[in-house]
A and B are shown apart, each in its own frame.
Chain A
Amino acid sequence: MNLLRFAYDNLTRRPARTTLTMTAISLGIAAIVALTAIAWGFEASWQKANDARGTDLIVTRLASENTMPSPFIAEKVRPALVNLPHVRQVVGLLSEMLTVSYDAPPMFVFGWEFNSYLWEHLQLLEGRWPESRNEPVIVIGTLAAELLHKKTGDMIEIEGVEMPVVGIFQSSALVENGALILTLQLVQQITDKTGKVNVLNLQLDSSASDSDIANIKQQVRDTLPGYTAITSGELVSQNAVVRISKAMSNATILIASLVGALVVFNTMLMSISERTREIGLLLALGWHPRTVIKLIVSESAMLTFAGGIIGIILGVLLTRGLEHIELMRGKIDAVFSFPFLLGVLALSIVLGIFGGLYPAIKAARTRPSQALRQE
């Protein structure tokens, strides 16, 4: 008989209470896992899209923190960029979230400069690419095709303009698979943003080093007031939606941790209150108060450890389920890293230790003579 086995036996004595507490902990942990994985996935998905395109730097409005950076006139900025050292291409991009079908959720519509490097990473599965900058046609990602129930030759109406789908492509980035891509000029026309882009993508030559990139960033700051050149990672991490989702995930971690600790605290307090006589007995039998503390803390840590394991499984299942509901498809690509899940498990154990500490100390201070008299 060892302490952990004894702690385990004590938990199984009250199966209903143990199950309820474990359920509460697991729900909190599931919320932490799901929200954090979604927040990270959202960030990772956008970064993946930018990286897949081969963009080294993105020029956008300074402190642009909207869902997409706010649009600006490309030609005001482009001339200053094309002459910077190591810059191979400067390519405009305009992006909107639009409703393109009443029976499908809003979708990303990207306007990419015709014949630019942005198109190169996409794999055309069927049909063809647009053949000129003004050709009124659309190519759609595989997920968008599935969600819109469209195939090559079908028509799609965007902002009152009906255009045929001429190609279906696949991308390594989920966000692009769920998007519709037109030429930049077409999107500018359709959305009444003639000449405007959200960002200018800079592709640098292969000899550009980190210090060259830092130099370009500095030159953009110096020569283009109100604009900034940042990496795709910086753009994504500054994005308001990413920041909000991360803040929400942090808030969830905090709230779930507090609630979890309180639930454990309450459970263990009830447990030791019911077992006062037994704790008195253990002390009378020569248990050191430290051993009593170890017992109670072991019980609460076991409780939250089990809750943590169940919560992680629930969280992963919940997120995978969310990824497949119609409204969210193509927008979230949850990331579950092993260190993160391990961290969540560690958090659940820490919650158990903290939640159980006060009840444990209280139990250890029990006066055996009084406790043994208790009915």
Chain B
Amino acid sequence: MNRKTSETNDSGTAPVLRTHNLALHFDEGRTKALDGVDIEIFEGEFVAITGPSGCGKSSLLNLIGTLDNPTKGELFFCNQPYSALQDLSEFRREQIGFVFQSFHLIPTLTTLGNVLVPTIGRSSDHNAIDRASDLLKLMGLESRLNHFPGQLSGGERQRVAIARALINDPAFILADEPTGSLDSTNATHVLDVIANMRLKKSLTIVMVTHDPVVAAKADREICMCDGKVISGSRRNP
């Protein structure tokens, strides 16, 4: 799917991602993880989704990342509804890079192997190793290519995870508490890496965090509470 937009907003650029009346209910509607969420995210934006624990931040991120299906409402990518996507796996592989709080690296694979995981099974991808090596170099991990996750620090592991998220040159990075397991020094370093990558690769970044210091690094903060967006749903003109 082409990430270029066709619809424009008031300020002249179009939201690359938009949700309309998005809801995610569990227990036959008794638990409302998300309830009528309308947000817009623009190409190249760095958006932080904040709010207290259990407010629906990660649920929203999962819906944006197609890891869950909404109970109600619709998401739009470049103005095309998610429900019209033919192949969600392909969409995730081509357009989305995930970064998780607990890194989710595969312990038996080397740093290079972990970065290459999203490319496994794609016989047509011939220069994946070169791309992975370049990304790890950008992350300052060129001397760690053959190290296993157990031999890396928390900050290094998260940088490996970021490289893995970038291997297929996605439109979005969806980061769920990417600094949540790191000390402040490593957290700052990882945020710098994310910010740097955003500039180098014109990425749109959606980051879930409960840390106001981390959220302050973003262009915009979408605050949530009890499954609803309470502020920042749209970019200021």
Is B12 part of the binding interface, using a Cβ–Cβ cutoff of 8 Å? no
Q: Any chain B CB within 8 A of the CB of A161?
A: no
Interface residues on A, range: 20 to 34
A372 touches B100 (CB 8 A): yes
Flag B15-26 by CB within 8 Å of A: 1 or 0 each. Answer: 000000000000
Asked if A372 contacts B67 (CB within 8 A), the reply is yes
A291-B120, A372-B100 known; A286 and B94 CB under 8 Å? Answer: yes
Shortest Cβ distance from residue B23 to the other chain A in the assembled complex, whole angstroms: 16
For residues 107 through 127 of chain B, which have their beta carbon under 8 Å from a beta carbon of chain A? 107-109, 112-113, 116-121
Pairs A–B under 8 Å by Cβ, sample size 26: A1-B112, A1-B117, A1-B119, A1-B128, A2-B121, A12-B108, A13-B107, A13-B108, A277-B104, A278-B104, A282-B117, A285-B98, A285-B117, A285-B164, A286-B90, A286-B93, A286-B96, A287-B93, A287-B118, A288-B121, A289-B89, A291-B120, A369-B67, A369-B68, A372-B67, A372-B104
Q: Decide: B118 and A286 in contact? CB cutoff 8 A.
A: yes
- 3 closest Cβ pairs, A-B complex: A286-B93, A291-B121, A369-B67
With a cutoff of 8 Å between Cβ atoms, the chain B residues found around residue A294 in the complex are 121
Residues of A within 8 A of B100 (CB): 372
A284 with B67: CB separation less than 8 A: yes
Check A281 for interface membership: any CB of B closer than 8 A.
yes
Per the 8 Å Cβ criterion, residues 49-77 of B in contact with A are 62, 65, 67-68
Query: How far is it, in angstroms, between the C-alpha of A282 and the C-alpha of B117 when the chains are bound?
Result: 8
Which residues from chain A contact B164 at a C-beta distance below 8 Å? 285
State whether B120 touches A3 (Cβ < 8 A): yes
Bound-state CA distance A369–B93 (Å) is 16
Distance between B131 CB and nearest chain A CB, rounded to angstroms: 12
Interface pair B89/A369, CB less than 8 Å apart = no
B138 within 8 A of A: no
Alpha-carbon gap, A283 to B235, bound state (A)? 31
Please report which residues of chain B, range 72-104, place their CB below 8 angstroms from some CB of chain A when the two chains form the complex. 87, 89-90, 92-94, 96, 98, 100, 104
Docked complex Cα distance between A94 and B138 (Å): 89
Cβ distance A275 to chain B, nearest Cβ, rounded Å: 9
Bound-state Cα–Cα, A257 to B90, Å: 38
* Selected contact of B89 from candidates A13, A277, A288, CB within 8 Å: A288
A375: nearest chain-B partner, CB-CB: B102
Q: Contact check, A285 vs B68: say whether CB atoms are below 8 A apart.
A: no
Please name all residues of chain A whose beta carbon is closer than 8 Å to the beta carbon of B92 when the two chains form the complex. 283-286
The residues of B with any CB-CB pair to A shorter than 8 Å are: 62, 65, 67-68, 87, 89-90, 92-94, 96, 98, 100, 104, 106-109, 112-113, 116-121, 128, 164, 168
In the complex with contacts A6-B120, A12-B108, A285-B113 CB distance below 8 A: no
Is the pair B98, A284 in contact by a Cβ cutoff of 8 Å?
yes
Q: Which residues of A have CB within 8 Å of B118?
A: 285-287
Task: Let me know if A9 and B109 touch, CB within 8 A.
Answer: yes
Q: Which of A284-315 contact B (CB under 8 A)?
A: 284-289, 291, 294-295
Question: What 20 new A-B contacts, CB under 8 Å, besides A1-B120, A291-B120?
Answer: A1-B112, A1-B119, A10-B108, A13-B107, A278-B106, A281-B104, A281-B106, A283-B89, A283-B92, A284-B65, A286-B93, A286-B168, A287-B93, A288-B90, A289-B89, A294-B121, A295-B121, A367-B67, A369-B67, A372-B104
Instruction: Return B88 CB to nearest CB of chain A, in Å.
Output: 9
**CB nearest to B68 among chain A residues:** A369
> A282: nearest residue on chain B (CB-CB)?
B117
Min CB–CB distance A89 → chain B (angstroms): 69
**A289–B121 CA distance with the chains assembled, in angstroms:** 11
Chain A contacts of B106 at CB under 8 A?
278, 281
Query: Given the complex, which residues of B lie within 8 Å of A12, measured CB to CB?
Result: 108
Contacts of A286 in B (CB 8 A): 89-90, 92-94, 96, 118, 168
Distance to closest chain A CB from B204 (angstroms): 17
Nearest CB of chain B from residue A1's CB, rounded to whole Å: 4
Contacts of A367 in B (CB 8 A): 67-68
A65 to chain B, nearest CB (A): 56
**Cβ distance A299 to chain B, nearest Cβ, rounded Å:** 13
Q: How far is the CA of A283 from the CA of B164 in the complex (A)?
A: 14
A111 at the interface (CB under 8 A from B): no
| A1 and B104 contacting across the interface, CB-CB below 8 Å | no
Residue among A278, A282, A294, A369 facing the most chain B CB atoms (10 A cut-off):
A369
Q: Which of A2, A278, A281, A289 makes the CB contact (< 8 A) with B120?
A: A2
Chain A residues lying within 8 Å of B68, measured Cβ to Cβ, are 367, 369
Assess whether A287 is in contact with B121, with CB atoms less than 8 Å apart: yes
Residues from chain B with a CB closer than 8 A to the CB of A283 are 89, 92
A368 interface residue (CB < 8 Å to B): yes
- Report the Cα distance A289→B113, complex, angstroms: 20
